[in-house]
Every structure is written in C-alpha cells, then in structure tokens.
C-alpha cells in the first residue's frame, strides 16, 4: 500500500533532507522509524530535497508498506518515534501510480529576512540582514522573475542538467514589522535557485544592480552574472501542490 505523508521540520541541525553516507538527514530519520514499524527497510521518496539548514512547513513524501496499518496509527507512530524537530501532520493512502516527486504540479517557497535588530534566538530560522531594504525596487524586480525563463544564472554551478527552464506563477513580498517574507510559487525550483534569486533582490536593494538587469542575467545563462546567494537559514519549503 502506498502512503503520502505531509510533514514539517526544523532543518537547522540536519545535513539536508536527502540521506547521505555521513551526517544526520530528514530522510534518514523517517526511514529509521519506518524500519522500526515494519521490520524491514523502507525507502521514502520526497517531493524534492532541501539543503542543509533549510526548513519545511509542508514537505510531502511517499512510501510503500506491505502491511495493514491505518494512517492514524502511522501518524502516531511517526510522531512518537521521530525527533521533536520533525513532525508528521497528515497521512493518506494514494494510488500506486502516484509519485511524490513526479506528480508535483507546483511548489511554494518562502524566504524570511529580519531587517530590524539582530535576534540571536532566531539566528537559525531567519536571515539576520538587520538593516532596511528598498522594498519598492525589490517589488519592481520581482516582476521580472514571473513567467517562463531559463534560470541557469540562478542555479548552483554544480547543478548540471539538460533543462533549466521553469515557470514562476507568482512572486510576492509581505512585511510584518521588521520581518520581510519573499515568496515564490512555481513549477519547480533547482538547487540554490530561491536563495540566489533572493540574494540578487538584496543586491538590487543595495543598488548593485537595476531591476532591468535581471533580463540580462536570464540571457547570460551564467551564475556569475547574477547576485549573491542568501543564507540557507531563511529558506522554507512552504507547500507542495499536486492539483
């Protein structure tokens, strides 16, 4: 039987989602629990990986179990056995043809910035920029990201693939006092893509680029043409949508 879980996690103490030969990962913790539940090794397939120090509010993953267990019992078992910085919010049975990664229609990420006084308590969860941003020019620049583009200039140089084209449906900035949240909804996001877009927006706020320079960056298809990479701590996978 194939199950789909929705779960959140604090990524600040993990080497990312994807299981690795060394270091603690979210996938590793989930699979350890499933082995305890089922008595056999079970692979967990997520909607995509998140890097070290990145958080998730509604990550999705599927797995197959050859046993009769209800979703309610699975949720209870997960949350009783997982570390307290990982929490399973929902579980449903899905068709065997469903795939947590390949069935995705869109994803939403958000990036959180503190423009006020440095907050040591939130240092692992918010980018401590600690000075004002030019939100007007950043909002103007955000418009350039919307639509279908080749995002090679905003993708990690190590992320080599045949197709860098993605579509951003919506990009927005919300302000709550000193906290600025930048969000992107799109068909998919490559490694460091959101962090590089946010870093470039910050560089535009500082006057290092003009909003119109984004058109040049897209055309260059070269990571060196764009701005900085924002720190991982401010990035959250907000949601994964299948319809």
Give the model confidence (pLDDT) of 170-184 as tens digits: 999 999 999 999 999
Percent of the chain residues past pLDDT 90, beyond the cut = 95
- The structural domains of the chain, ordered by start, are 2-94 (3.30.70.580), 106-241 (3.30.70.660)
Question: Mean pLDDT for the chain?
Answer: 97
Active-site residue, selected from the candidate residues 51, 64, 85, 203: 51
Question: For position 135, what pLDDT does the model report?
Answer: 98
Give dist(CA 9, CA 93) in Å, integer. 22
Question: For position 208, what pLDDT does the model report?
Answer: 98
Question: For position 159, what pLDDT does the model report?
Answer: 80
Question: For position 154, what pLDDT does the model report?
Answer: 98
Q: Which of 235, 240, 243, 241 is nearest to 12 (CA)?
A: 235
pLDDT tens-digit series, residues 192-240: 999 999 999 999 999 999 999 999 999 999 999 999 999 999 999 999 9
The pTM of the full predicted model, rounded to 2 decimals, is: 0.96
- Provide the pLDDT confidence category of residue 37 given band limits of 50, 70 and 90: very high
pLDDT tens-digit series, residues 102-150: 999 999 999 999 999 999 999 999 999 999 999 999 999 999 999 999 9
Half-sphere exposure of 126 (CA within 13 A, CB side): 18
Question: For position 160, what pLDDT does the model report?
Answer: 83
Contact criterion met (CB below 8 Å) for 152 and 221: yes
What spatial distance separates the first Cα and last Cα of the chain, rounded to whole Å?
22
pLDDT tens-digit series, residues 60-77: 999 999 998 999 999 999
Question: For position 239, what pLDDT does the model report?
Answer: 98
For the chain, give the number of residues: 243
Question: For position 11, what pLDDT does the model report?
Answer: 98
Burial 169-206 (b: 16+ CB within 10 A, else e): eebebeeeeeebbbbbbbebbbbbbbbbbbbbbbbbbe
Give dist(CA 152, CA 46) in Å, integer. 24
Give dist(CA 9, CA 97) in Å, integer. 27
Return the sign of the alpha-carbon dihedral for residues 197, 233, 238, 43.
positive
Mean pLDDT confidence for 30-54: 97
- Please state, as a whole number, how many other Cβ atoms lie within 10 Å of the Cβ of residue 62: 21
Question: For position 93, what pLDDT does the model report?
Answer: 98
Question: For position 14, what pLDDT does the model report?
Answer: 97
Q: Is 234 helix (H, G, I), strand (E, B) or coil?
A: helix
Give me the long-range contacts of 203-206 (CB less than 8 A, separation at least 24): 203/227, 203/228, 204/134, 204/137, 204/138, 204/141, 205/133, 205/134, 205/135, 205/137, 205/138, 206/134
* Residue 239 annotated in active site: no
Give dist(CA 4, CA 99) in Å, integer. 9
Contact criterion met (CB below 8 Å) for 238 and 110: yes
């Amino acid at each position: 039987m194939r199950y789909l879980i929705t779960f959140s996690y604090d990524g600040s103490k993990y080497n990312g989602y994807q299981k690795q030969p060394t270091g603690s990962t979210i996938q590793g913790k989930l699979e350890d629990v499933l082995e305890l539940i089922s008595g056999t090794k079970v692979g967990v397939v997520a909607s995509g990986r998140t890097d070290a120090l990145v958080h998730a509010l509604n990550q999705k993953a599927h797995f197959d179990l050859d046993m009769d267990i209800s979703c309610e019992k699975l949720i209870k078992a997960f949350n009783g056995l997982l570390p307290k910085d990982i929490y399973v919010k929902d579980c449903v049975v899905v068709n065997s043809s469903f795939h947590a990664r390949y069935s995705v229609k869109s994803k939403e990420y958000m990036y959180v910035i503190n423009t006020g006084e440095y907050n040591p308590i939130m240092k692992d969860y918010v980018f401590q920029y600690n000075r004002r941003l030019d939100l007007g020019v950043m909002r103007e620049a955000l418009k350039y990201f919307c639509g279908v583009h080749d995002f090679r200039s905003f993708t990690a140089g190590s992320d080599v693939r045949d197709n860098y084209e993605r579509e951003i449906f919506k990009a927005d900035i919300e302000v709550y006092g000193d906290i600025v949240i930048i969000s992107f909804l799109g068909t998919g996001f490559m490694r460091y893509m959101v962090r590089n877009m946010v870093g470039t927006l910050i560089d535009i706020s500082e006057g290092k680029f003009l909003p119109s320079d984004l058109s040049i960056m897209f055309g260059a298809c070269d990571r060196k043409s764009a701005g900085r990479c924002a720190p991982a701590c401010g990035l959250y996978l907000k949601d994964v949508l299948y319809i």
